[in-house]
């Protein structure tokens, strides 16, 4: 029987690459997102019938619980759905933008993890793996990105909590901290982005399929093996010694 994976934010970018890689590796994949057309494009790109679509806002707890209640089992959850806010100094960040980022990146990840965790506890055999999409921003901030940075710092706590509580049940949690994978979100890197010293600099990017390959490899490990954190980034990006 094929293993079942749920990938949030699977309609584009990293989520699409993860879903395609998992399907190619033999997983039955369910992708979620808010735009049906983008989800269908991912499913069509897989071309194997292994990718199913579910239109879903991860910040909607009832909808999230409804999705997982309709599944017989889940072996892997990839919490990939995320969003950012317009770059702005602290004093200019709107409450609306703050709440939208935190609701999607943090609360949405918690709601999906909670529902997956509950299913992993009651399925037979029980257990599974949860992979959270963190960020280099889970460790060091960029200027004018406080909402995104705070949400990704919080993902670190969420991942550790899941790993701790999952120990007795064969449930492992991993956080992949990704730096400058070449997606729509990082297109601005080629135009130059604000640095901590006030300068503007072009930053390198890398192929997002590399991240997808890591997701597959971690997913294929036995649950007796934990990978709490993994950092994958473009060589030369300003992370070590940023600022």
Catalytic residues: 148
Q: Give φ, ψ of 98 to 5 degrees.
A: -55, -50
The span from the CA of 83 to the CA of 185, in Å, is: 9
- Residue 22 to residues 71, 115, 136, 211: CA-CA distances in angstroms? 18, 21, 24, 12
Contact yes or no for 109/32 (Cβ under 8 A): no
What is the residue-wise DSSP string for 64-95? Answer: HHHHHHT-S--SEEEE----------GGG--H
Pairing of strands 128-133, 171-179: parallel
Residue 200 belongs to what H/E stretch? Answer: strand 200-201
């Amino acid at each position: 029987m094929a293993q079942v994976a749920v990938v949030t934010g699977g309609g584009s970018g990293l989520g699409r690459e993860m879903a395609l890689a998992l399907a190619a590796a033999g997983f039955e994949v369910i992708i979620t997102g808010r735009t049906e057309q983008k989800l269908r494009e991912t499913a069509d790109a897989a071309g194997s019938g292994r990718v199913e679509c579910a239109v879903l806002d991860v910040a909607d707890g009832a909808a999230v619980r409804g999705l997982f209640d309709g599944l017989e089992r889940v072996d892997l959850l990839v919490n990939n759905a995320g969003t950012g806010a317009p770059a702005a100094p602290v004093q200019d960040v709107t409450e609306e933008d703050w709440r939208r980022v935190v609701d999607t990146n943090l609360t949405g990840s918690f709601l999906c993890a909670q529902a997956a965790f509950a299913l992993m506890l009651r399925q037979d055999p029980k257990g599974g793996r949860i992979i959270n999409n963190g960020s280099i921003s889970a460790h060091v901030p960029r200027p004018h990105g406080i909402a995104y940075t705070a949400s990704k710092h919080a993902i670190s706590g969420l991942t550790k909590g899941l790993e701790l509580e999952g120990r007795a049940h064969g449930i492992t949690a991993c956080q992949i901290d990704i730096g400058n994978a070449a997606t729509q979100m990082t297109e601005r890197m080629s135009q130059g982005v604000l640095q901590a010293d006030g300068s503007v600099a072009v930053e390198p990017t890398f192929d997002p399929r590399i991240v997808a390959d890591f997701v597959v490899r971690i997913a294929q490990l036995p649950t007796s093996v934990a990978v709490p954190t993994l950092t994958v980034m473009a060589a030369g990006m300003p992370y070590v010694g940023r600022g």
